A and B are shown apart, each in its own frame.
Chain A
Amino acid sequence: MQERPVDAPTPTAGRAPLDVAAAAGHRAHPPRVGFFTDTSICIGCKACEVACKEWNAVPEDGLELTGMSYDNTQGLGADSWRHVAFVEQKKSSGGAWATVDHRGVDVFAEAARLGTGAATEGGGIAPVAPDGRTELRWLMSSDVCKHCTRAGCLDVCPTGALFRTEFGTVVVQQDVCNGCGYCVPACPYGVIDQRKSDGRVWKCTLCYDRLGAGLEPACAKACPTDSIQFGPLDELRERAAERVRRLQDAGVPGARLYGHDPADGVGGDGAFFLLLDEPEVYGLPPDPVVTTRDLPAMWRHAAVAAVTLAAGMAACCVRRKR
């Protein structure tokens, strides 16, 4: 597995996974639940996007043909709580037939050119080998709020509109949100977003209402291939580890998990992924870090600075008195 090293140790590193619901004050609470999105079997049908909008009455948000492959949703936002990314790559499929080594490919450069049209201009990997064989890969992946273990949005919310549920998920209470927007830059994934019409923030609730009724979230229910799997996070992590091992054994290049590790910069995601390429290719940050991670240290530094300043000023005063 090609895990990127996390720059700084996090408070949870090396310890038992944090019981987020208990930490939030829920006493006898159900196990933490989440999503495991296995992009290797996503067929890009977007049933998740539609089911989410239908269940949660999320408004339609524009009829724009983007030209970014079949992705006309463009990203997560206040009015799109699920987003299926489509990535057309000039490399052979991830199936067992793949024998071509693409380690030398600059995925950043490739990703930067996505959806820019006449892709063969300026070289790159030819889509068609001289003998007419296609060398194409079309990645699809359904993105969603990660429901982080250490959720920056929740940390900065001044009204308590954002809260940790008994299921360990992170939900906005729309009747409490005052539209201050602090949470928007606090999200390391760029998920949470203000709705233009009313200023409040909206995002995936992991179908909090459905969970309360013993139902799985609408997107997971609608997914025809079980690319989106819902369940207790511990079980999902075990299943994902087994799945990625099988794919790697089968020689699928680039299969890796993303957001599954409690030791990462957000303490692990409640919604994590199996990807077939670098996270950047899918528009995901490679090393997400909870934006409030450094706050204690910053406060310490600020305190030191304040003390130093005060001491300096005092010294000045003392000098002046002289």
Chain B
Amino acid sequence: MAECHPVGFQWVMEAKARGAKLVHVDPRFTRTSALADLHVPLRAGSDIAFLGGIVNHVLREEKYFRDYVVAYTNAPMILREDFRDTEDLDGVFSGLDREGRAYDPTSWQYEGVEVQAASGERDQQYERRIAESGRGEAHGSGGAAIGEGEPERDETLTHPRCVFQVLKRHYARYTPQMVERTCGVPQDVFQQVCQLVTENSGRDRTTAFAYAVGWTQHTIGVQYIRTAAVLQLLLGNIGRPGGGILALRGHASIQGSTDIPTLFNLLPGYIPMPHAHQHESLDKFVEAEAAHKGYWGGMRSYLVSLLKAYWGEAATAENDYCFDYLPRLTGSHSTYETVLAQQNGVCRGYFLYGENPAVGSANTKMQRLGMANLDWLVVRDFSLIESATWWKDGPEIETGELRTEDIATEVFFLPAAAHTEKDGSFTNTQRLLQWHHQAVEPAGDARSDLWFTFHLGRIIREKLAASTDEMDRPVLDLAWDYPTKGALAEPDAEAVLAEVSGRDADGRPLSAYTQLKDDGSTSCGCWIYCGVYADGVNQAARRKPGEQQNWVAGEWGWAWPANRRILYNRASADPEGRPWSERKALVWWDADQSRWTGHDIPDFPATTPPDYRPPAEAKAAEALSGTDPFVMQADGKGWLFAPAGLTDGPLPTHYEPQDSPFDNPLYRQQRNPVRQVLPALPDNRYQPSGSAPGSEVFPYVATTYRLTEHHTAGGMTRWQPYLAELQPAMFCEVSPLLAAERSLEHLGWATVVTARNVIEARVLVTDRMVPLIVQGRTLHQVGLPYHWGPNGYTTGDAANELVHLSLDPNTHIQETKALACDIRPGRRPRGPAAVELVREYRRRAGITDQTGTEI
């Protein structure tokens, strides 16, 4: 966190100054470890085993917060009789379709809940494509829908099929000995962590977990975070001050770009993108996707208001508010599938807004080969990044695999304005929107993304104005009427914010999403952002200093939803509505006023008393009982066990990374059985793992990361002399023992090889890289910053050349944080010899297009 989020880390330092203990779990000793009370090096790719070990400790030693667990989690829910755990099936759950590489989650449901019948006549292949497109992100603002009916509960938590007992059995094998074998963490260090976490959790104390892409970028990444969720729910650390699981986002507004998404399968506010055939009308879509209980019960209002924001006057009740104008999914269209579609000639044009896939995306060679097959490519960035020049000076030009004269892609480079040159908002990990004002006009031809998008749309609409083609109606009917200002005709960013925030039928600003209507009388560009422009005031621009308000600081910026600073904060009070402790009081039920009150804005229906029990026919927010704090969940409870919504299992389970030097010590099932394995094309070969022959060719584990001095793929930093001089060369970090084993010299060169590609890097030999004892043998890990590429003021090879395209099935994210590799002294070969070296490695490891693709 100190490395990649130094500004946010100031609050960790402040907590530390007040007595907080800081534990850092990371394969490397980083600038965060330097300030931590305890650094725990572990094997990259083994976090579920580590966290699962803590879950087991909490259950075995009875350290869980029982009152919280019984009242607020799904621990008492009883599962169906046909559910089978990984304990029963040696590492897989019931419902696995081995042919289709997908789970049917029906058996994961609660007893007594009727699973929704699959509507219509959908063929098997279509079902599979839907499953592939994944729905993990669609629950970014809460859980998945579950079926109708009241689940059976056992509040004694003793029923053999209740979630609590299933959980206990599932994690029983995650013992300290197993943690040591799997993660390389000595048992007493592990016990120390268990003690710190459990002693600091309960009525009076809370523990927070912060993570970043070290958890997400795995073939089982979503389940890493789920393990933390299970642990935090057991300890009662969710919805309470000082608790939670904090996603440290990789860019200034990455949270904002999932809220109002750049993701293919989402609409703003985490409303799923409709699928072709499956979602043919607005009502059918809402019926299929919306939960019947909780705030997702209002999905029709959110969606209709969104459609009104998109198409304004053209959206009417008669035409289903232009629901048909929305594009439809026909499967997964994630970044990496788009690359394959480019290579297959299906995807012909590509916009890159401040993105440098030729350096920053996994398997950069595949990225460049995809772009080489486009008709056109638009790159908007500050500098001539690698993604704009690969056609003349990329690595494949050097190796002879591509020739400039053969590439037909027309590449447009358009200079972009920086955040200091435009108005706009950042949404941070706390869901906090903070407005930034333009300081200077952009220089030269540089323009903001807002300017580019607005004027591109305006010109396209002008060109299509005379069209009578039905296909052009969605573009022509758009409400595309933003005011512009200044000599550059810059669209007014506050006008966009006002549209996102929402208006009533008379154009007055809305103040909360509870005001949204499903009859077309309100418009709102993103329901969770409703109210950010309440009273016609840019609430995100508020900067009242902390010392002038209470510790929640609700008047600094604006947080979604409804300016609530801590989600699910009903859980900070006990079932009767009293704070669990005075020390950790946040919101509580005020019986005199008959409403919820407190330091934060209650994330709960304000006047629903703790003893409220909904009538059977109640829907949406009215269906939440007074003790259902998890207002976005279909059952109002925190999910220890996920009965729906995940493609790869209801309980987190340790699987080895796609390419691993080790066998899975916990189960016979080696890898996540439903990971998304993209085709093993010649440049995307997978490696043998564990005891499979050829695995010894790649005996080390590489993990990629960022340095404080550079940002992601380097487009913002490698061209800056003041930053380039601080970290002037691509390097790899190795331990003195590995250096001795492979004859690597400090400051010399090393060559790193996988089945995909080969790179070179300068060598930093450091004690900060710690060899670990895993499964009885020494494991060396290789640290690879991924900022460099061949262009810019400081240059070097891109670590992402080495990465394969086996993905997390929920989020389609790549596995850059744990991959087996080899390292050898000296510079890499040049030209065609580089390709030949990789081929030789593949031959030695016996790699074919089948290797590593087994389920």
Binding site for B on A (CB under 8 A): 41, 43-47, 49-50, 53-54, 60-65, 67, 69-70, 72-73, 88, 90, 93, 95-97, 116-121, 127-128, 131-134, 136-140, 224-226
Contact B6 A127 (CB under 8 A): no
B188 and A225 form a contact (CB under 8 A): no
Of B345-353, B511-519, B739-747, the one touching chain A: B739-747
Nearest CB of chain A from residue B24's CB, rounded to whole Å: 10
**Is there an interface contact between B770 and A50, defined as CB atoms closer than 8 Å?**
no
Contacting A134 at CB < 8 Å: which of B37, B747, B765, B770? B770
Check B721–A95 contact: CB distance below 8 A: no
In this complex, what residue of A is CB-closest to B13? A225
Q: Is B708 an interface position by the 8 A CB rule?
A: yes
Q: Which residues of B contact A134 (CB under 8 A)?
A: 29, 39, 41, 767, 770
Contact call A118/B38, Cβ cutoff below 8 A: no
Do the beta carbons of A132 and B184 come within 8 Å of each other?
A: yes
Choose, from B237-245, B490-498, B724-732, B845-853, the stretch at the interface. B724-732
Taking the closest CB of chain A, its distance from the CB of B379, in whole angstroms, is: 25
Q: Decide if B620 is an interface residue (CB 8 Å cutoff).
A: no
CB neighbours (8 Å) of A128 from chain B are 767, 770-771
Tell me the minimal C-beta distance from A97 to chain B in angstroms.
5
**Which residues from A are CB-within-8-Å of B670?**
none
Which residue on B lies nearest to A90, using beta carbons?
Answer: B767
Which listed residue, A54, A88, A96, A131, touches B766 by the CB 8 Å rule?
A88
Q: Specify which chain B residues have a CB less than 8 angstroms from the CB of A47 in the assembled complex.
A: 6
The complex places the Cα of A50 from the Cα of B31 at a distance, in Å, of 18
Q: Are A73 and B726 in contact (CB under 8 A)?
A: yes
Complex Cα distance A65/B726, Å?
9
B746 and A118: CB pair below 8 A? yes
Number of interface residues of B (CB under 8 A): 57
Q: Tell me the minimal C-beta distance from B287 to chain A in angstroms.
A: 49
Partner of A127, one of B10, B33, B767: B767
Give the distance to chain A from B614, nearest Cβ to Cβ, in Å. 47
The one of A62, A96, A118 in contact with B736, judged by C-beta atoms closer than 8 angstroms, is A118
Is B762 an interface residue, CB under 8 A from the partner? yes
**Please, which residues of chain B bring their CB within 8 A of the CB of A116?**
746
Cα–Cα distance between A70 and B29 once the two chains are bound (Å):
13
Residues of A within 8 A of B551 (CB): none
Is B725's CB under 8 angstroms from A43's CB? no
C-alpha spacing A61/B722, complex, angstroms: 9
* A63 contact from B21, B38, B794, Cβ within 8 A: B794
**Are A131 and B186 in contact (CB-based, < 8 A)?**
yes
Please name all residues of chain A whose beta carbon is closer than 8 Å to the beta carbon of B793 when the two chains form the complex. Answer: 63
Question: Within 8 Å of chain A (Cβ to Cβ): is B193?
Answer: no
Q: What would 14 A/B residue contacts be, using CB atoms closer than 8 Å?
A: A41-B13, A43-B32, A50-B722, A63-B725, A63-B794, A69-B766, A88-B767, A95-B37, A117-B747, A119-B736, A134-B770, A140-B34, A224-B7, A224-B9
Binary per-residue interface labels of chain B (41-83) against chain A in the complex, 1 for a CB within 8 Å, 0 otherwise: 1000000000000000000000000000000000000000000
B189 interface residue per 8 A CB criterion: yes
Q: Is the CB of A93 within 8 A of B736?
A: no
Chain B residue at minimal CB-CB distance from A117: B746
A120 with B737: in contact, given A72-B727, A132-B186, A134-B39 (CB under 8 Å)?
yes
What is the distance, in angstroms, from B6's C-beta to the closest C-beta of chain A? Answer: 4
CA distance A41 to B15 in the complex (A): 12
- Other 9 A-B pairs with CB < 8 A, given A53-B722, A134-B39: A43-B35, A45-B708, A70-B707, A117-B736, A118-B739, A119-B767, A120-B736, A128-B771, A136-B768
* Nearest A residue to B189, CB-CB: A133
Q: Is B764 an interface residue (CB 8 A)?
A: yes
Query: CB of B585 within 8 A of chain A?
Result: no
* Chain A residues closer than 8 Å to B721, beta-carbon distance: 60
Q: A136: shortest Cβ distance to chain B, in Å?
A: 5
A134, B2: Cα distance in complex, Å: 19
What residue in chain A is nearest B30 (Cβ atoms)? A138
- Cβ of A72 and Cβ of B767 under 8 Å apart? no
On whether A133 and B731 interact (CB within 8 A), knowing A41-B13, A50-B722, A121-B736, the answer reads no
Asked if B41 contacts A45 (CB within 8 A), the reply is no
Q: Find out whether the CB atom of B39 lies under 8 angstroms from the CB atom of A225.
A: no
B36 near A120 (CB under 8 angstroms)?
no
Q: Which A residues touch B767, using CB under 8 A?
A: 88, 90, 119-120, 127-128, 134, 136
Given the known A-B contacts A118-B765, A132-B186, are A45 and B31 also in contact in the complex, defined by CB atoms under 8 Å? yes
Chain B nearest CB, measured from A254 CB (Å): 15
> Is the CB–CB distance between B29 and A136 below 8 Å?
yes
Complexed CA–CA distance, A136 and B36 (Å) = 11
In the bound complex, residues from chain B placing their C-beta under 8 Å from that of A119 are 736, 765-767
Q: Does B678 belong to the interface (CB within 8 Å)?
A: no
Contact B709 A46 (CB under 8 A): yes
For the complex, give the distance between the alpha carbons of A47 and B722 in Å: 10
Bound: A43/B2 CA distance, A: 6
B772 within 8 A of A: yes
Question: How far does the alpha carbon of A228 sit from the alpha carbon of B745 in the complex, in Å?
Answer: 36
Q: How far is the CA of A109 from the CA of B60 in the complex (A)?
A: 48
The reply on B178 being an interface residue by CB < 8 A is no
Q: Is the Cβ of A118 less than 8 Å from the Cβ of B740? A: yes
Instruction: Give the docked Cα–Cα distance between A116 and B728 (Å).
Output: 19
Known contacts A116-B746, A120-B767, A137-B34, A44 near B708 by CB under 8 Å: yes
A53 to B724, CA, bound (A): 13
Kindly state whether residue B723 has any CB partner on chain A within 8 Å: yes
Residue B773 CB within 8 A of the other chain: yes
| CB proximity of A261 to chain B, nearest CB, Å | 25
Partner of B727, one of A70, A133, A136: A70
> Which B residue sits closest to A63, measured CB to CB?
B728
Contact residues in A for B736 (Cβ distance below 8 Å): 117-121, 127
Specify which of B7, B33, B737, B770 is in contact with A138 (CB 8 Å cutoff). Answer: B33
> 0/1 per residue, B1-20, Cβ < 8 Å to A?
01000110110010001000
**B contact residues around A41 at 8 Å (CB):** 13, 17, 35
**Bound-complex Cα distance A63 to B729 (A):** 8
Q: Residue among A73, A140, A224 with the most chain B CB within 10 A?
A: A224
Please determine whether B34 and A97 come into contact, CB atoms closer than 8 angstroms: no
A224 to B5, CA, bound (A): 10
CA of A104 to CA of B284, assembled, Å: 76
Q: Mark B502-518, 1 if CB is under 8 A from A, else 0.
A: 00000000000000000
A69 to B41: give the CA distance in the assembly, Å: 19
Residue of A whose beta carbon sits closest to that of B34 = A138
Question: Are A224 and B10 neighbours in the complex by a CB distance under 8 Å?
Answer: yes
A21 to chain B, nearest CB (A): 31
Q: Which residues of A contact B746 (CB under 8 A)?
A: 67, 116-118
Closest Cβ neighbor of A67 among chain B residues: B747
